[in-house]
Amino acid sequence: MKSISTKLASLLLAAGFLPAAYAVNDLPGGPAVRQLNLHEAVTRIAAEQSWLHWFMLITCFVIFVAVFGVMFYSIWKHRKSVGHPPAAFHESVTVEVAWTIVPFLIVIGMALPATKVLVASKDTSNSDLTIKATGYQWKWGYDYINGEGAGIGFLSTLDPTHREMSNEGAKDVPDDYLLKVDNPLVVPVNKKIRIITTANDVIHAWGVPSFGVKQDAIPGFVRDTWFRAEKTGDFYGQCYELCGKEHAYMPIHVKVLAAADYTAWVADQQKKIAAKADDPGKVWTMADITARGEKVYSGTCAACHQANGKGAGPILPLDGSAIVNDADKNKQIQVVLNGRGAMPAWKGQLSDTDIAAAITYTKNHWSNHTGQLVQPAEVLAQRGK
Amino acid sequence: MSAVLPGHADDHAHDDHHDHAPTGWRRWVYATNHKDIGTLYLLFAFAMLMIGGLLAMMIRAELFEPGLQFFNPELFNQLTTMHGLIMVFGAIMPAFVGFANWMIPLEIGAPDMAFARMNNLSFWLLIPAAIMLVASFFMPGGAPAAGWTIYAPLTLQMGPSMDMAIFALHVLGASSIMGSINIIVTILNMRAPGMTLMKMPLFVWTWLITAYLLIAVMPVLAGAITMTLTDRHFGTTFFNPAGGGDPVMFQHIFWFFGHPEVYIMILPAFGIISQVVPAFARKKLFGYSSMVYAVASIAILSFIVWAHHMFTTGMPVQGQLFFMYATMLIAVPTAVKIFNWIATMWQGSMTFETPMLFAVGFIFVFTMGGFTGLILAMAPIDLLLQDTYYVVAHFHYVLVAGSLYAMFAGFYYWSPKWTGVMYNERAGKIHFWNSLIAFNVTFFPMHFLGLAGMPRRYADYPAQFTDFNMLASVGAFWFGLTQVYFLFFVLLPVLRGKGEKAPQKPWEGAEGLEWEVPSPAPFHTFETPPKLNAAATRIIG
């Protein structure tokens, strides 16, 4: 039977692999090996949540031990095999009232501290910084809207080598496996950060366990949450709402910096923005633009079309594609700008330069040798058409 | 005519009324007898349990270690989705309907269900629905991969299998609604004289209440999935914000169905346990009326707690508080039930044959699931645990160690009545202990994974989560193998009639009209309404 051999195979696998315990260390700010409890709290809210959890755990455990102590005692003593005869009683209003009222009071006792923490966790007023976190399939985008750093915006994507490692079966992975991004979210310590969540496509969720924060990112809607990190360091989270095939591959990395370091980072970012501002009128050489295109492709397109350009299943290949090899460049430009079928529109997410670069790369890579060069100005001209 | 399968030697007196009744395949395809239909439902549900279980083994094989070893993430999402849909709609719900069909007429002294032909349709609708669900894997794009909760707008991106799944769910819903109508009408109209509502066995009560829940909420699911269908194909934008729609509205509609649905999946289990424990404690159920009121309270409360599945969607704090309080309130009647079961055991004279093992196991492990549910109900804590493995642990504790264990208890308890033979007690005990231990090895570590932040529906995970995932996978295979053991060493033998002949009442402390008929129960029972004693538990005269 198929299921038996599958299980046997897996059992053998287990027997072979179990001795070789996974050699990975705790990740500070992220999960620990064999972690038993919640993350160490970095915000006051997380500390309160942790307290609440201990309170619940201990209360429930005490009740559990009491109730099942009684049950196991009964199993031991009130058995036919030790000669215990059955009693005749089978109702008691007093007892029923008692064990309705007592749990009711216990539940009220649990609800009161929970109310306090919940109300505090929802109060996003008077924040020092406001950052919008946008969920994309499959990465996060951060835009600093208000406060020190306003105007900075970038995408935060899982390191592509980690994604490759996953495909290869995750041998010898680093401690931040599946949690490393190219551009972490950077925030100052001890400041109230309001995070506005939204999404570009489907529902995602932005959550960082160390902060005690989780909020759904819903397309077409804005939600918010807040945190005040009381320690500097690196803290990790993941996407917490099923959002498609790469749901496991869009982590969150928050870097909490001391005030002075944060100011320095902001200044640095603003300089980079100024320098990087792509002039859509710039005329690129083939070598430069394909180098740029390779980066854009591997960071954005390869998730679906694969690094080898061959796609998979319903995702069409680019290697040998008629549209890619078409003499009319506008055909491919239109598809990338406006999407087609399940392929999303990239006009809102990628700049003209990035789109031109990625297209030029695909037109001159693998078995495609069109020799065509798409300039950013050509992409700009196709917008709105 | 044999009670369970054709070819089984029968040695009880026939009625001559059914000499013309069909044999062979017609007996099953045209079945109108509640016992035959009950058997069909139970066998179907067990087959679906095996299929859903196979999907679970595939999931746990992939999650054994970090990295993708067997499946790409898209297929992995299909596995998790279909595991959920098949188990909920194909295994648990039909199994309880199977128990209802077999036991309700027997327990109320009725000759059959009120609408025998509709009963037939209710069952046979399940077959094309199940075929559609399983076959969806082979459609272009594979099976739906949006989770069993099929949230919009992710469902708008799914391939044609999503439409097939929607159709299958409609068919399953129609089957459930018809079955529920049948159950309600039967219970309200066909009880033997003298069996007032407050003298009915608890299993009948729980199904009466469950049937009302089903009729109330299956149409709601139908609404949600139809809106999904029209959003996908007919230009509506119920859940698409670009057209003015609201993705969160899907969640409200789905969970308005979904929360009562999980109570639909547990209340009949409560009913079974409420009958098994008194039988093996040789003591009447403690607090019969309280137990009835508790089930009714749970059912009513189940309608006002749905948004505890949505604490992170961004509802205002007043909403979160309301749903938190309402959800925590359900703990009270549930606790009452647990206390009543233990009070039934207290000062009883217990023996621990397999049905009682599963019943006690249920009380113990279901309560653990209940506690984690209470913890999840605390909205501030839920923010940390929503969509993590803590939730997966919680619902498997209540559904597997809850519903499935109760079903096993019911099977072991009632199968002598169904088949006329005793199951192998040693095999039953092996099944129980292996299931109990393997189950806990599988799902207990998931609490830790959830507390540590491991998200659900992940094909791959940060390497720090490896050890508990390995443990869970080993436990899962052990649990799966144990159910295969059950099939070969318990179920198949009794279906084939292999085992000691079962007495009319194999359990000394058992009470109820089902024990007033021979084992196996004759094809037709209570063709004339029986005369009952004052407590409506024995036939007199």
The three-class DSSP label of residue B6 is coil
For residue range A101-148, what is the model confidence (pLDDT) as tens digits?
999 999 999 999 999 999 999 999 999 999 999 999 999 999 999 999
The DSSP code sequence of B327-342 is HHHHHHHHHHHHHHHH
d(C-alpha B345, C-alpha B339), whole Å: 10
What is residue A277's predicted lDDT score, i.e. its pLDDT? 74
Residue numbers in A near B336 (CB within 8 A): 96, 99-100, 103
For residue range B398-412, what is the model confidence (pLDDT) as tens digits?
999 999 999 999 999
Which residue intervals of B190-246 are DSSP H helices? 202-233
Give the β-pairing of A139-146 and A192-199: unpaired
- Band (pLDDT 50/70/90 cuts) for residue B11 is very low
Question: Given a cut of 60, is residue B5 above it in pLDDT?
Answer: no
For residue range A275-319, what is the model confidence (pLDDT) as tens digits?
777 777 889 999 999 999 999 999 899 989 999 999 988 899 999
* Mean pLDDT, residues B188-201 taken together: 97
d(C-alpha B43, C-alpha A138), whole Å: 42
What is residue A205's predicted lDDT score, i.e. its pLDDT? 98
pTM for this model (two decimals) = 0.88
What is residue B315's predicted lDDT score, i.e. its pLDDT? 94
What is residue A273's predicted lDDT score, i.e. its pLDDT? 84
The three-class DSSP label of residue A141 is strand
- Residue from the list B57, B381, B509 with its beta carbon closest to the beta carbon of A49: B381
Q: At what angle do helices B202-233 and B161-189 cross, to 10 degrees?
A: 150
Give me the torsion for CA of B269, B275, B281, B287, rounded to 10°: 90
**What is the average pLDDT value for chain A, to the nearest integer?**
92
Chain B: residue whose CA lies nearest to A220: B241
By CB neighbour count within 10 A (0-12 exposed, 13-18 middle, 19+ buried), where does A353 fall? buried
Interior angle at CA B384, CA B379 and CA B390, nearest 5 = 95
- Band (pLDDT 50/70/90 cuts) for residue A2 is very low
Query: Which whole-number Å values give the CA distances from B293 to B30, B290, B514, in the listed order?
Result: 39, 5, 24
- Band (pLDDT 50/70/90 cuts) for residue A18 is very low
Q: Please, which contacts does B430-433 make with residues 24 or more away whose CB atoms are closer than 8 Å?
A: B430/B485, B430/B489, B431/B354, B431/B482, B431/B485, B431/B486, B431/B489, B431/B490, B432/B354, B432/B357, B432/B358, B432/B361, B432/B408, B433/B357
Partnered with residue A343 across adjacent β-strands are: A340
Residue numbers in B near A226 (CB within 8 A): none
Query: Regarding predicted confidence, which is higher, B366 or A384?
Result: B366
Contact (CB, 8 A) for B267 and B278 = no
Residue numbers in A near B384 (CB within 8 A): 38, 46, 49, 53, 209, 212, 214
The DSSP code sequence of A313-355 is TTBPP-TT-HHHH-S-HHHHHHHHHH-BTTBPP-TTTS-HHHH
What is residue A23's predicted lDDT score, i.e. its pLDDT? 79
Contact (CB, 8 A) for B48 and B85 = no
What is residue A10's predicted lDDT score, i.e. its pLDDT? 53
Handedness of CA B464, B468, B471, B476 (dihedral sign): negative
Contact (CB, 8 A) for B208 and B184 = yes
* Mean pLDDT, residues A90-111 taken together: 96
For residue range B206-227, what is the model confidence (pLDDT) as tens digits?
999 999 999 999 999 999 999 9
Give the β-pairing of A252-257 and A204-208: unpaired
Question: Given a cut of 80, is residue A21 above it in pLDDT?
Answer: no
Longest dimension (CA), chain B: 72
Q: Answer yes or no: do B151 and A241 touch at CB < 8 A.
A: yes
Q: Answer yes or no: do B314 and A223 touch at CB < 8 A.
A: yes
Is B148 an annotated catalytic residue?
yes
For residue range B232-266, what is the model confidence (pLDDT) as tens digits?
999 999 999 989 999 999 999 999 999 999 999 99
Question: Given a cut of 50, is residue B7 above it in pLDDT?
Answer: no
Question: Given a cut of 70, is residue A93 above it in pLDDT?
Answer: yes
Q: What is the DSSP letter of A210?
A: G
- Residue from the list A32, A63, A240 with its beta carbon closest to the beta carbon of B464: A32
Query: Regarding predicted confidence, which is higher, A202 or A275?
Result: A202
Q: Answer yes or no: do B454 and A31 touch at CB < 8 A.
A: yes
What is residue B538's predicted lDDT score, i.e. its pLDDT? 95
Which residues, 6 or more positions from B251, have their beta carbon under 8 angstroms from its beta carbon? B151, B309, B310, B313
Question: Given a cut of 50, is residue B439 above it in pLDDT?
Answer: yes
Question: Given a cut of 60, is residue A14 above it in pLDDT?
Answer: no
- Band (pLDDT 50/70/90 cuts) for residue B22 is confident
3-state helix, strand, coil in chain B (%, to 5): 70, 0, 30
Q: Answer yes or no: do A86 and B481 touch at CB < 8 A.
A: no
d(C-alpha A103, C-alpha A93), whole Å: 16
d(C-alpha A372, C-alpha B330), whole Å: 67
